[in-house]
Amino acid sequence: MDRDNQLKEAPSSLVDPFGRTIDYLRLSVTDRCNLRCTYCMAEDMTFLPRQQILSLEELRDLALAFVELGIKKIRLTGGEPLVRRDIIKLVRSISNINGLEEITMTTNGMLLPKMAQQLRQAGLARLNISVDSLKPTKFREMTRNGDLSLWYEGIVAAKKANFTKIKLNAVVLAGFNDDEVIDLAHFAVSNEMDISFIEEMPLGSMSTHDRSKTQVSSANIREKLETKFHLIDSVETTGGPSRYSNVVGSTSKIGFISPMSNNFCESCNRVRMTAEGRLLLCLGNEHSADLRSVMRSHPGDQDLLKNEISKALKSKPERHYFDPNKIDIVRFMNMTGG
Ligand code: SAM
Ligand code: SF4
């Protein structure tokens, strides 16, 4: 088929071979980070050279192409998105795209004291802020260098900036922070925030712990929480491996993200872009398309870009199979875009 015919056939919505409509993009803006969480990356990381990372213009062109193809929600992530130079400019340019319903971000919160207000003003509606421990020593241990008091300052700044919603994210590891799930939930509820508890995924191998020994299932976390909170299942879903419960007597929700114990792949609605421009079709598989080379070989050709995205979607796998005893996926989470 010649290129003109291919372009005519590019669909205006993204539906994969299993009938799933993809309307959610996680866009990684950097692989770099100001922390080194033990479950996410090695202590001694080599980051990508800057020229391999997508430029601000390339990120905006990609976002536009995806929105024109039917993406409704974009989450900026990384690495740590707030260490990316000109991130505020990027938020502003993406939030102005017609047809995009929501732009959100996942951050470790360390730079929020300086940036929360500007992010809100640039159009960011919601924020996910990660935290795995409310004990300063444990926080430092799990992040390798994080300062919990700075994290608290970030929360105060985010609340002051009036985001429509703030959700906390905690990865739960047996023997590290599984004794804190109730305290973390209390913190969220008493500050009128939501919180999600995440099962650890075997992305990249770790020197600090054996992932097969630190697994804690969502069912186990929920059982602990139910000793203190009355949880009622919510019909709300964001697609993918998360399920939410309302905390009775509060405005908060508790989410259980269970990529290991229950992946809900049949309702997957998302794809991910890595910081170097690889479209990853599934977190637990390596199927991908190199969109950076498409953009760099044909700068400004948005039709071609959209066509390549639609074509790539045909290879979205039906599901993932994670096994904590095996590291099938060697890329770390900071490379993947969480
Ligand atoms: N730096 C930001 C942060 O920490 O929020 C955004 C990127 S981080 C990779 C996104 C999310 O992925 C965080 O909530 C983090 O806790 C989670 N994460 C990192 N490695 C993980 C792993 N191996 N399994 C499950 N979740 C992980
Ligand atoms: Fe950085 Fe986020 Fe990974 Fe922690 S989880 S090392 S904050 S990218």
- pLDDT tens track, the chain, 338 positions: 444 444 444 445 799 999 999 999 999 999 999 999 999 988 888 899 999 999 999 999 999 999 999 999 999 999 999 999 999 999 999 999 999 999 999 999 999 999 999 999 999 999 999 999 999 999 999 999 999 999 999 999 999 999 999 999 999 999 999 999 999 999 999 999 999 999 998 877 677 778 888 899 999 999 999 999 999 999 876 666 678 999 999 999 999 998 888 767 888 899 999 999 999 988 767 678 999 999 999 999 999 999 999 999 998 877 776 666 655 555 566 665 55
Q: Cβ(30) to ligand 1 under 6 A?
A: no
Whose alpha carbon is nearest atom 8 of ligand 2? Answer: 79
Q: Residue 107: CB within 6 Å of ligand 1? A: yes
For residue 11, the CA-to-ligand 1 centroid distance in Å is: 32
Q: How far apart are CA 24 and CA 101, in angstroms?
A: 10
Distance 131 CA to ligand 2 centre (A): 10
Q: Residues 6 or more apart from 46 whose CB is under 8 A from it? A: none
Give dist(CA 245, CA 255) in Å, integer: 6
Domains and CATH numbers, the chain: 3-336 (3.20.20.70)
Q: What is the CA radius of gyration of the chain?
A: 19
pTM for this model (two decimals): 0.92
- Residue 169 Cβ inside 6 Å of ligand 1? The answer reads yes
87 lines ligand 1 (CB under 6 A): no
Q: Across the chain, which distance is largest between two alpha carbons, in Å? A: 63
CB within 8 A of 69, min separation 6: which ones?
A: 10, 11, 12, 13, 14, 306, 309, 310
Cα–Cα distance, 105 to 29 (Å, whole number): 11
Pocket test for ligand 2, best of 26, 33, 84, 257 (most atoms within 8 A of CB): 33
